[in-house]
Amino acid sequence: MFSRAYKTVVTVPPLAWVAVFLLVPYALMFCYSFWSVSSLQIIVHTWNLDNYKELLEKPVYWETLLRSMWIASRVMLFSLLLGYPLAYFLSFYAGRRKDLLYQMVIIPLWVSYLVRAYAWKTILGSDGVLNTLLQYVHLTSHPLNFLLYSPFAVVLTLTHIYTPFTFLPIYAALEHIPRNLVEASHDLGASPAQTFWKVIFPLSIPGVLAGATFAFVLSLGDFLAPLLLGGPSGIMISNIVVSLFGAAYNWPLGAAISLCMLVLVVSLLFVSERLEKKWSFS
Amino acid sequence: MTTTTSLSPEISGQNSRTALLSIRNVAKTFGQHQVLRDISLEIAEGEFLTILGESGSGKTTLLRIIAGFESATSGELWIGSERLDRQPPYRRAVNTVFQSYALFPHLTVEDNVAYGLRVAGRPDDEVKQRVAAALDKVKMAAHAKKKPAKVSGGQQQRVALARALVNRPKLLLLDEPLSALDANLRRQMQVELKSLQREVGIAFVFVTHDQEEAMVMSDRIALLRSGELEQVASPREIYNRPATSYVAQFIGHTNLLKGEVTDGVARCGALAWKAGVPDGTALFSVRPEQVRVCGATQMAGAVHVRGRVIQQAFHGATELIRVECEGGLVLVVRTASSSVPRAEVDLEFAPADAVRVRESPERV
C-alpha cells in the first residue's frame, strides 16, 4: 500500500528518537548501577553488586521507598475519590454544561507544576492563607505546623496535580458506556444505585485502573512536591536519587535505585494493563 | 419459563378482553418539535399490538414513554387503576426488548437473564430455576455461560427476550427487535415471536416500520404518522378498510382514485361506479388484486375499463402491471403471472371494492 521509502521515512525518526533518548540512557543507567565510586570520587568501571547490597542493607532506602509508595497510594486513593464522582457527574448529569466543565477540569493541566506547588505553599504555610483564616475565626490560637513541610502537604499537592490524570481515563470509560445499558438496567427494575454498582461501575473499571496507575506511578516518581512542601518527614525516593546524582555524587547507587523503581513501575504497568484487558468488553 | 399459559386470544375472545394499559391524550414535544400529538390508545390483556410508522413518526418515542425513559409533555398512562407515568422506569411492571438488545457485556448470558430477578431480591433457587426455564424456552440453554459478544445477533435477540420475559411483566415492549437480523432469520423470528407471545400470554407492544412484519404478527396495528394515530385496527381491517389515503398507501399497494360523486355515482376519468357516499369529491382506494383482468366473461355490475400495459413487474406467483386506461388514468393491477407479455387488457373491479378513504392532510 505504501512505498518502502515512505515507510522508512515515517518509521526511522521515531525509532531513532526512542533509541537515543530512551534505550541508550537506560542501558547507561543499567551499567552504572553495577559500577562503583572510588574514594577519590571517581567512577570506577569494575562490575560488582555492591550498590544493590547497600540498598538491601541500609534501611533508609527501602523505608523511603515504602513511604513513597504509601504517599503514592494515598494520592491514588484521593484522586480516585475526587476524580470518579467528578467524571460520573460530568458524563451522566452535566447535560449542556458538560463541555464547559470538562474544559475547567483540563485547564489546571496547562498551569505550571511549580506554580501550583508554590500556590499550596502560600496556602499552607504558618503565615499562609489557611492558618491566618483559622486564627482569624479563632479555631486555633497559633499556626498549625503539620500543614506545610509534611507528608500531608505532599499528598494534598500531588492529589491536586494528578486528579485530572485520573479523571480523564475514567471520564472516557464512562462516556463509552452505551446509555441503553443504563436504560435496560432501570427497565429490569434496578434502582439508580443498583444500576451504578451492577452496570456502570464494572464497565468503568478499565478507566479506574488506568487512572489509578497514572496517579500512583506519577506520584511515586515525584520529587518536586516533596522538595518544596515535604520537609524532612516528607522525603520521597526520588529526592534521594536526585541528591545521589547531585551533591552526593554517587551515580552508581542512584542508578541502582532508579533501576529498582523502573522494574517496580514496569511490573505495575504490566499488571494494570492485564487487569484492564480483563475488564474490557467492547 | 414457568408461567401458567393463559387462555389464548382465540379462546378468550376479543370482547372479554380487558384493557391492560390505557394511553390517554399523550403528547410530547422536544423543544419546538411536536413528536406526538394527542395519542389515545388501549392495549388489551394478552394482545399483540404493533405500533407501525415511518422513521420520525414518533413510534419509538411513544414506546419510550410507556417504558418510562421519556416523560410525556401531557397526558396520562394507566395500568388498571394505577397511574403509570408518575413511576420511574424501575418501578414499572413493563419490560423492554431494545433494538440493539442492550445486553450487559460484562455479564454472561445467564447473568443477563437473571439480572431482573436478582435486583428484585428473589431467592437464589428461584432465580436459578426461572433463568434455566427462560433460557430453555428461547433455546439458549447451551450458551448460558457465554458472554453476549460470543453469541450471534439472532442469539443475542433471544437472550434479550428471555431477559425481559423472565420477570413476567404485564406488558412487553419491543423496539424494532428484528431490524438488525437478515431477511430469512427475521421471517423465522416473526413466527417464533408470535407463537412465544401466544404461549406466555403477555401483552406485546411491538414497534416497527415494516408493514409486512406488522401484518404477519399483530392482533391490532396502530398506524402512526407524524405523531398522530391514523388508524388502529386489525391487520385485515386496516388492509381492507383503510381509513385514510395514507393508510391505504402505507399498507400494501393501492390505486387512489379521486372521484366526483353526483347522485350516488362516482366518476373518475373514464370510470364510473355506484358509490354509496354523499355527493362531492371523494377519494377511493382500490387494491391492485381487486382489479381483475377479464377475458370473455365479465362480472355483472362491475366497473369496466380498457387500457394499455405500460409496465410489467414479475413478483413470482403474481405480477404487478401498470395499465394506462382511456383518459390517461393509470391503474396498478396484480394478476397471476403469465408468460405472454400483454399489450392491451380489459380490466374490471366490483364497486364494493372501491373503498372510500379520507384524504390525509399534508403534514411536516
pLDDT at site B229: 93
Portion of chain A with pLDDT greater than 90, in percent: 62
- Interface touch B89/A190, C-beta < 8 Å: no
Indicate if the pLDDT at residue B11 is higher than 70. Answer: no
Range in A158-172, B2-16, B161-175 with the lowest mean pLDDT = B2-16
- CA–CA gap between residue B66 and residue B85 (Å, rounded): 7
- Interface touch A186/B90, C-beta < 8 Å: yes
Chain B residues contacting A, CB < 8 Å?
67-69, 88-91, 94-96, 98, 100, 102-106, 115-116, 119-120, 147, 149, 163-164, 167
Q: If you write DSSP's letter for every residue of chain A in order, what string do you get? A: ---HHHHHHHHHHHHHHHIIIIIHHHHHHHHHTT-EE-TTS-EE----SHHHHHHHH-HHHHHHHHHHHHHHHHHHHHHHHHHHHHHHHHHHH-GGGHHHHHHHHHGGGGS-HHHHHHHHHHHHSTTSHHHHHHHHTTS-SS--STTSSSHHHHHHHHHHHHHHHHHHHHHHHHHTS-HHHHHHHHHTT--HHHHIIIIIHHHHHHHHHHHHHHHHHHHHT--HHIIIIITGGG--HHHHHHHHHTTT--HHHHHHHHHHHHHHHHHHHHHHHHHHHHT---
pLDDT at site B17: 59
Instruction: Please report which confidence band the pLDDT of residue B300 belongs to, taking 50, 70 and 90 as the band edges.
Output: confident
Name the residue of chain B whose CA is nearest to A195's CA. Answer: B119
Portion of chain B with pLDDT greater than 70, in percent: 93
- Interface touch A190/B67, C-beta < 8 Å: no
Task: State the nearest Cα–Cα gap between B144 and chain A, in angstroms.
Answer: 17
pLDDT tens sequence across A24-37: 999 999 999 999 88
- B24: helix, strand or coil: strand
Instruction: Please report which confidence band the pLDDT of residue B15 belongs to, taking 50, 70 and 90 as the band edges.
Output: very low
B169: left (phi over 0), alpha (psi -120 to 50) or beta: beta
Instruction: Please report which confidence band the pLDDT of residue A156 belongs to, taking 50, 70 and 90 as the band edges.
Output: very high
Portion of chain A with pLDDT greater than 70, in percent: 99
- CA–CA gap between residue A118 and residue A120 (Å, rounded): 5
Which residues does residue B285 pair with via DSSP β-bridges, in sequence order?
A: B256, B355
User: Once rounded to an integer, what is the mean pLDDT over residues B57-78?
Assistant: 94
Indicate if the pLDDT at residue B339 is higher than 70. Answer: no
Which 8-state DSSP code applies to residue B96? E
Indicate if the pLDDT at residue B117 is higher than 60. Answer: yes
Instruction: Please report which confidence band the pLDDT of residue A282 belongs to, taking 50, 70 and 90 as the band edges.
Output: low
**Residue B167: which of A188, A195, A198 has the nearest Cβ?**
A188
pLDDT tens sequence across B154-179: 899 999 999 999 999 999 999 999 88
Q: Please, are residues B211 and B251 in contact by the beta-carbon 8 Å criterion?
A: yes
pLDDT at site B16: 46
pLDDT at site A131: 84
- The mean pLDDT value of chain B amounts to 88
pLDDT at site A201: 97
| Placement of cell 399523550 in the chain | B26
Indicate if the pLDDT at residue B14 is higher than 60. Answer: no
Task: State the nearest Cα–Cα gap between B62 and chain A, in angstroms.
Answer: 15
| Segment of A163-172, B274-283, B331-340 carrying the highest mean pLDDT | A163-172
Task: State the nearest Cα–Cα gap between B159 and chain A, in angstroms.
Answer: 13
pLDDT at site B10: 41
Indicate if the pLDDT at residue A69 is higher than 50. Answer: yes
Inter-CA distances, B214 with A63, B102, B307, B342, Å: 73, 23, 34, 34
Our CA dihedral for A28, A29, A34, A37, rounded to 10 degrees, sits at: 90
- Interface touch B106/A279, C-beta < 8 Å: yes
Instruction: Please report which confidence band the pLDDT of residue B6 belongs to, taking 50, 70 and 90 as the band edges.
Output: very low
Residues in chain A: 282
**Residue B106: which of A183, A194, A203 has the nearest Cβ?**
A203
Name the residue of chain A whose CA is nearest to B162's CA. Answer: A188
User: Once rounded to an integer, what is the mean pLDDT over residues B352-363?
Assistant: 83
Indicate if the pLDDT at residue A21 is higher than 50. Answer: yes
pLDDT tens sequence across A188-216: 999 999 999 999 999 999 999 999 999 99
**Residue B120: which of A186, A189, A279 has the nearest Cβ?**
A189
Answer whether 0.90 is exceeded by the pTM. no
- Interface touch B67/A199, C-beta < 8 Å: no
Instruction: Please report which confidence band the pLDDT of residue B2 belongs to, taking 50, 70 and 90 as the band edges.
Output: very low
pLDDT at site B338: 75
- B135: helix, strand or coil: helix
Q: Please give the radius of gyration of chain B, using alpha carbons only, rounded to the nearest integer.
A: 24
Q: Which amino acid is at B343?
A: A
- CA–CA gap between residue A215 and residue A78 (Å, rounded): 9
Instruction: Please report which confidence band the pLDDT of residue B7 belongs to, taking 50, 70 and 90 as the band edges.
Output: very low
Give the residue from B92, B119, B122 with the most A CB atoms within 10 Å of its CB, the best one to mutate.
Answer: B119
Range in A61-65, B227-231, B279-283 with the lowest mean pLDDT = B279-283
Q: Please, are residues A135 and A143 in contact by the beta-carbon 8 Å criterion?
A: yes
Q: Please, are residues B141 and B176 in contact by the beta-carbon 8 Å criterion?
A: no
pLDDT at site B263: 84
pLDDT at site B8: 40
pLDDT tens sequence across B213-249: 999 999 999 999 999 999 999 999 999 999 999 999 9
pLDDT at site B299: 77
User: Once rounded to an integer, what is the mean pLDDT over residues B28-35?
Assistant: 91
ipTM surpasses cut 0.95 = no
| Placement of cell 547531585 in the chain | A246
Cα A106 to its chain centre, rounded Å, is 16
| Placement of cell 504497568 in the chain | A269
**Apex A100 CA angle, A98 and A102, nearest 5:** 65
**Residue A187: which of B95, B106, B147 has the nearest Cβ?**
B95
**Residue A199: which of B89, B104, B149 has the nearest Cβ?**
B104
Which 8-state DSSP code applies to residue B121? T
Which 8-state DSSP code applies to residue B132? H
Indicate if the pLDDT at residue B273 is higher than 50. Answer: yes
Indicate if the pLDDT at residue B67 is higher than 60. Answer: yes
Give the residue from A177, A180, A187, A195 with the most B CB atoms within 10 Å of its CB, the best one to mutate.
Answer: A187
- Interface touch A189/B149, C-beta < 8 Å: no
Indicate if the pLDDT at residue A173 is higher than 90. Answer: yes
Which residues does residue B244 pair with via DSSP β-bridges, in sequence order?
A: B358
Indicate if the pLDDT at residue B4 is higher than 60. Answer: no
Instruction: Please report which confidence band the pLDDT of residue B1 belongs to, taking 50, 70 and 90 as the band edges.
Output: very low
